[in-house]
Amino acid sequence: MNFNFTHRPRRLRNNPILRSLISENSLRHSDFVLPVFISEQALEPEPIPSMPEIFRWPLGLLVPQIKKWRDLGISSFAIFPQIDDSKKDLTGSEFLNPSSLTFRAALEIKSVISDVALISDIALDPYTIHGHDGILDSTGNIDNDPTVETLAKGAVLAAKSGYDLVAPSDMMDGRIKIIRNELENNNFPNIGIISYSAKYSSSYYGPFREAIGSRGDTCLDKSTYQLSTANFREAKRELLLDFQEGADILMVKPAEPCMDIIHYARNNFDVPIAAYQVSGEYSRIWAAHLQGWLDLESCAMESILSIKRAGADIIFTYFTEKLIQQI
């Protein structure tokens, strides 16, 4: 039997060439940012138990590894430090040490490799003994404005160290304007800001906190400054404020639980939109794979393509090394 159907969408799925011809989204090497963990304690690449195939890198091995990644086609890296506990305090003062690990890392990389982009995490959680992203006041709450002042000073140190972009991930009020002003006033007008504009108080950050050795681990409550996972309008407001304050790129985090936010940002702001596929998203796929329930590589690719389809121009993902060799 053969019906006279006018519309048969399967006609364009008959073979791989046609499917490729009508593909609406594709991935490029330049879409990816690889998050990289560095450590003062490690003498060799140190595995992170909750994040298979991800390591903390000692500074002495970082430059050769960046070269290997660059030769694979990875050109953008976000650097996250694991700071020795002895250097942590209530205010995260090590963040303002020009010789701190994250600044030394950028100086070493850029002294040898010029054709990569480095992104500096602007937040205090790796440096505080309590694990929060800001300075606590006398009542134990995050003191917004002193925190912003510290973040702005740290952004200037990052620029001096060779970072191409600074990425405030703290979710303090007004920090984009103050950071932009501080960069301008210190003769860094060309250093861009990639703002974690819609960063949710998510349960998916646990493996990341293990990776950087942040106190509080998965139980730390950051809901007084990160967004409620129930809210959409609140994210719209935060995106708009960061755009108005001068952010060059707007970030949504986490990625897959926030596809609606990514889509909204792409359709309403004429700046690049980034999405961070966070540690819990990565570890979730790996865990299912290790149980034999899902295929790792195909699920990783599908997840990244879905983030791209939602509207992300830039994708931070721990799958970068694995996937970039497939595209």
**pLDDT on residue 215:** 57
Instruction: Give the span between the Cα atoms of 266 and 274, in whole angstroms.
Output: 9
Q: Residues 74-84: what's their mean pLDDT?
A: 96
Tokens of 124: 């205090």
**What are the DSSP calls for 198-232, one per residue?**
EEB--GGGHHHHHHHT-TTGGG---TTTSBPTT-S
Please choose, from the candidates 91, 175, 188, the residue with its C-alpha nearest in 3D space to the C-alpha of residue 137: 91
Confidence of residue 314 (pLDDT cuts 50, 70, 90): very high
Q: Choosing from 88, 222, 253, 308, which is the catalytic residue?
A: 253
Q: Choosing from 199, 222, 236, 308, which is the catalytic residue?
A: 199
**pLDDT on residue 1:** 84
Phi, psi for 227 (deg, rounded to 5): -75, 150
- Of 39-43, 171-175, 279-283, 321-325, minimum mean pLDDT range: 39-43
Residue 28: is it exposed, middle or buried by C-beta count within 10 angstroms (0-12/13-18/19+)? exposed
pLDDT per position as a tens digit, 269-280: 999 999 999 999
Phi, psi for 99 (deg, rounded to 5): -100, 15
**pLDDT on residue 140:** 86
Q: Are 271 and 242 in contact (CB under 8 A)?
A: no
Is the pLDDT assigned to residue 216 strictly greater than 60?
no
Q: How far is CA 48 from the centre of its chain?
A: 17
User: Can 199 be counted among the known catalytic residues?
Assistant: yes
Averaged confidence pLDDT in the chain: 95
Q: Residues 288-300: what's their mean pLDDT?
A: 98
Q: How many C-beta atoms lie closer than 10 Å to residue 169's C-beta?
A: 21
Q: Residues 187-203: what's their mean pLDDT?
A: 97
Q: How far is CA 255 from the centre of its chain?
A: 10
Is the pLDDT assigned to residue 217 strictly greater than 90?
no
Global pTM reads 0.95
Please choose, from the candidates 229, 254, 241, 232, the residue with its C-alpha nearest in 3D space to the C-alpha of residue 312: 254
Q: At which residue do the structure tokens 């699920």 appear?
A: 299
Q: Which CA distances in Å does 220 have to 11, 214, 216, 315?
A: 52, 10, 5, 26
User: Can 67 be counted among the known catalytic residues?
Assistant: no
Task: Tell me the CATH architecture of domain 26-324.
Answer: Alpha-Beta Barrel (3.20)
Reduce the DSSP state of residue 182 to 3 states and report it. Answer: helix
SS (H, E, C) 226-261: CECCCCCHHHHHHHHHHHHHCCCEEEEECCHHHHHH
Is the pLDDT assigned to residue 283 strictly greater than 60?
yes
Q: Are 298 and 21 in contact (CB under 8 A)?
A: no
Q: Residues 103-107: what's their mean pLDDT?
A: 98
Is the pLDDT assigned to residue 17 strictly greater than 60?
yes
Q: Are 212 and 125 in contact (CB under 8 A)?
A: yes
Is the pLDDT assigned to residue 121 strictly greater than 80?
yes
